[in-house]
Amino acid sequence: QVQLVESGGGLVQAGGSLRLSCVASGSILSINAMGWYRQGPGKQRELVALSNSGGGTNYADSVKGRFTISRDNAKNTVYLRMSSVKLEDTAVYYCNADLYGSSWQLKTYWGQGTQVTVSS
CB-CB neighbours of 111 under 10 Å: 21
In this predicted model, what pLDDT tens digit does every residue of 7-34 receive, in sequence order? 999 999 999 999 999 999 999 999 999 9
Rounded Cα–Cα distance for residues 49 and 28 (Å): 22
Strand-pairing partners, residue 100, are 30, 106
Residue 45 neighbours by CB under 8 Å, 6+ apart: 37, 38, 39, 94
The CB-side HSE value for 52 (13 A sphere, CA atoms) comes to: 5
Checking if the pLDDT of 113 tops 90, the result is yes
The percent of residues above 90 in pLDDT, for the chain, comes to: 92
| Mean of all residue pLDDT scores within the chain | 96
Question: Of 68, 99, 120, 58, whose CA–CA distance to 109 is shortest?
Answer: 99
